[in-house]
Amino acid sequence: MVRVDPASRRLLRARDTMDRRYAEQLDIPALARAALTSEAHFIRTFKQTFGETPHRYLQRRRLERAMALLRETDRPVTEICLDVGFTSLGTFSRTFSRVLGMSPTAYRAAWRAGAGTAGYVPTCVVMAWTRPRQVREVSSFGEAQGLPQP
C-alpha cells in the first residue's frame, strides 16, 4: 500500500484550523509550527497544494462568515467585522468591497431585496460553496504588491 504524502494531510489540518478558529487572531507562524514546517515553507507548500496563500484563504473564510451574518442577522457591520476576525473596520470594508463588488451594507440590502434563501441545504455545504471564489490572476484582497518590474 502506497501511503500519501503526510505533508498534505498536515496542511489540510492547518486549513481546518483556519476554518474553525477564523475569529481568533491566528498567526501564520503558529499554523506553520502546527504543520511542522518553517513559515516560508508553509506558505509555499500551502499555495502549491490549495492554490492560494494561507492569508488569502483565511480572508475568504472570514468574508464568507461575514456574508452569512449580514444575510441572516441585523447586527451592525462593525460587530460583524470584529466577530469574524478583522481588527479594522476600514480593512474589512475595503476587502469586502474589492471581493464582492459592493459594500457590506449594500450586500445585505441586495440580499434582502430578493435573493431569497438557500432553503434546506446543510449549513456546512452553504458555508463551503458560498465562499468567495479564489482569484488566481489578480489580487482582490489588498495584499502588498511587489514593485513594478522595470
CB of 13 to other proteins, least distance (A): 8
CB of 10 to other proteins, least distance (A): 9
Nearer to other proteins, 15 or 100 (CB): 15
Site residues (CB under 8 A) for other proteins?
1-6, 8-9, 11-13, 15-16, 19-20, 22-23, 49-50, 65, 68-69, 71-74, 111-112, 114-117, 119-120, 122-124, 127
Q: CA 100 → CA 79, 128, 130, distances in Å? A: 19, 16, 12
2 grid coordinates: 502506497
Which one-letter amino acid corresponds to residue 103?
S
In angstroms, the CA 132 to CA 12 distance is 19
Q: CA 6 → CA 12, 51, 54, 104, distances in Å? A: 10, 18, 18, 39
Nearer to other proteins, 93 or 111 (CB): 111
Nearer to other proteins, 71 or 98 (CB): 71
Nearer to other proteins, 74 or 137 (CB): 74
Q: Is the dihedral of CA 41, 44, 47, 52 positive or negative?
A: positive
CB of 32 to other proteins, least distance (A): 17
CB of 144 to other proteins, least distance (A): 27
End-to-end CA distance of the chain: 51
Nearer to other proteins, 56 or 65 (CB): 65
CB of 55 to other proteins, least distance (A): 18
In angstroms, the CA 129 to CA 4 distance is 26
